[in-house]
């Protein structure tokens, strides 16, 4: 019931936003939660180094990692990410290790009326540590949207179907996400997102800022609040995103 309420709220917000005018999106301002699924079109190779903290109640975790992407052509982009996670429970010993390696591929369709549409898929290479719940082969597909609105605002949306290796079974999980990118000034953007994940109950509401400091580099920070049992109660993440000149 709670998921249905979140989905209904998100759907109505999306429908209301389409009533406004249009504004060109900034492709170098990337989403936080759906970093690789974002419909933005990369013109140069890019990489982001990030440090995150998450509180799950009975445990907390620290995440240090790097995500990178490469535009193979003007229409096709690939991305990978590798993270190191340390998990600290309130009781008992903690565990740490590297995560599985996700590999994303994304195709950009020709833009129409300022809207950007992309579709792609991913797999995870099971190289991660089983001590932190990794070592799983997952895969899935997704579609994503950016639609320019009035008042320096861009609407974003993502929908995907993921097949997750959970225990001895493979479970299908639906991802539905939406957000807004609001340009506060040419160098500073505010990014809000709500993503709902059905099977893992990892639904998260986030708000963050992206500050472009020059030389194609961005300082980024985001706060998150879990809206379902599988998400962290609180999340804080800071990162440095840079686009390389070709």
Residue 201: per-residue pLDDT? 86
Q: Can you give the pLDDT at residue 111?
A: 81
Cα distances (Å, whole numbers) of residue 27 to 42, 141, 192, 227: 7, 21, 16, 28
DSSP character at residue 150: S
pLDDT, tens digit only, all 246 positions of the chain: 444 444 434 444 444 444 344 444 588 999 999 999 999 988 899 999 999 999 999 999 999 999 999 999 989 999 999 999 999 998 888 999 999 999 999 999 988 778 999 999 999 999 999 999 999 999 999 999 999 987 799 999 999 999 999 877 899 999 999 999 999 999 999 999 999 999 888 899 999 999 999 888 999 999 999 998 889 999 999 999 999 976
CB atoms within 10 A of CB 89: 13
CATH class of the domain whose range is 2-243: mainly beta
Please tell me the pTM assigned to this model.
0.87
Query: What are the extents of the domains in the chain?
Result: 2-243
DSSP output for 53-87: EEE-SSEEEEEEEEEEEEESSSSEEEEEEEEEEEE
Q: For position 81, what pLDDT does the model report?
A: 97
> CA–CA separation, 68 vs 82, rounded Å?
9
Nearest CA-CA partner of 213 in 189, 196, 181, 197? 189
**Measured distance CA(233)–CA(89) in Å, rounded:** 14
């Amino acid at each position: 019931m709670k998921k249905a309420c979140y989905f209904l709220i998100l759907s109505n917000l999306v429908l209301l936003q389409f009533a406004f005018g249009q504004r060109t999106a900034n492709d170098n301002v990337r989403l936080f939660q759906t970093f690789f699924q974002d419909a933005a079109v990369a013109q140069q190779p890019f990489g982001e180094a990030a440090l995150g903290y998450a509180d799950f109640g009975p445990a907390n975790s620290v995440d240090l990692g790097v995500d990178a992407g490469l535009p193979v052509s003007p229409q096709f982009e690939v991305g990978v990410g590798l993270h190191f996670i340390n998990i600290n429970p309130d009781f008992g010993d903690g565990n740490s290790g590297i995560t599985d390696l996700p590999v994303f591929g994304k195709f950009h369709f020709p833009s129409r009326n300022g809207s950007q549409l992309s579709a792609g898929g991913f797999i995870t290479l099971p190289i991660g540590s089983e001590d932190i719940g990794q070592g799983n082969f997952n895969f899935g597909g997704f579609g994503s949207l950016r639609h320019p609105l009035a008042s320096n605002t861009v609407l974003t949306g993502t929908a995907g179907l993921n097949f997750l290796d959970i225990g001895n079974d493979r479970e299908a999980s639906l991802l539905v996400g939406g957000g807004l990118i609001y340009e506060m000034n040419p160098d500073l953007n505010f990014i809000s997102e709500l993503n709902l994940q059905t099977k893992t109950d990892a639904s998260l509401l986030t708000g963050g800022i992206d500050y472009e400091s020059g030389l194609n580099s961005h300082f980024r920070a985001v706060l998150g609040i879990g809206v379902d049992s599988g998400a962290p109660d609180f999340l804080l993440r800071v990162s440095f995103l840079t686009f390389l000149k070709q």
